[in-house]
Amino acid sequence: MTATAWPLLAEAHEALLNAVKGVGEDQWHLPTPCDQWTVTQVLQHAAGDQLAYYAAITGGEGPAENPFAPSGTLTADPVALLVAATEAAATAWGSVAADDAAVPVPVPPNTLDAVTGVGACALDAAVHAWDIAKATGRAQPLSENAASAILVAAKQIVEPLRAWGAYAPALEPQDGDDAVAALLRYLGRDPEWTA
């Protein structure tokens, strides 16, 4: 079987990996746009979510700890932790046909068509790449094209997740918003956030 290529997911994974590689030794405990979570906790959450997608698709083992209650204590190399999680998710999505109408996913409604599902997985990686980059004083890592594609998926999955506190209420669009800012505001994040 030929693996399905998902460029959007690859781009989101790369953005997240680059953001994590750029974290300085003294930056793991910095606050992030994820209210009450440090850079370490955002990394743990993001890695856990990628493993949750892997587990949903393959039936394999999911994250060792609850991604929504990250400990804030790193017990492994952060880059290795993330690489293992993103590679698992990418491998799982590689087994999904682009026209699959019912892919199991770890977010409500727990099955999505392949394009929306991979967009949801990319959303998680991309927004947390932004969180980590902003928290550590670096430029936001998302491309306009990726943000536009991710927003399409976000509008299909985010509303039910707001009730669980996974996303803050959407912020009002502003004149001059680019695709990245539009995505962030929809997800309840201020594009101009600083620590």
CA distance linking residue 141 with residue 161, whole number of Å: 24
Q: Phi then psi for 122, rounded to 5 degrees?
A: -65, -40
The answer to whether residue 18 scores a pLDDT higher than 60 is yes
- Residue 118 and residue 151 in contact, taking contact as beta carbons nearer than 8 Å: no
Task: Tell me the pLDDT tens digit for each residue of 124-176.
Answer: 999 999 999 999 999 999 999 999 999 999 999 999 888 877 889 999 999 99
Of 99, 98, 148, 92, the residue nearest 123 (C-alpha): 148
The residues, any chain, with a CB within 8 Å of residue 35's CB and separated by 6 or more, are 168
pLDDT at 35: 83
> What's the whole-model pTM score?
0.96
Set out the domains of the chain in order of their start, with CATH numbers. Answer: 7-186 (1.20.120.450)
The answer to whether residue 1 scores a pLDDT higher than 60 is no
DSSP string, 103-145: EE-SSTTSEE-HHHHHHHHHHHHHHHHHHHHHHTT------HH
CA distance linking residue 86 with residue 109, whole number of Å: 22
- Residue 129 and residue 142 in contact, taking contact as beta carbons nearer than 8 Å: yes
Helix axes 144-162, 7-21, angle to 10 degrees: 90
44-53 residues labelled b (16+ CB within 10 A) or e (exposed):
bbbbbbbbbb
Q: Phi then psi for 112, rounded to 5 degrees?
A: -140, 160
Q: Phi then psi for 108, rounded to 5 degrees?
A: -60, 140
Give percent of the chain with pLDDT exceeding 70: 99
H/E stretch holding 170 reads none
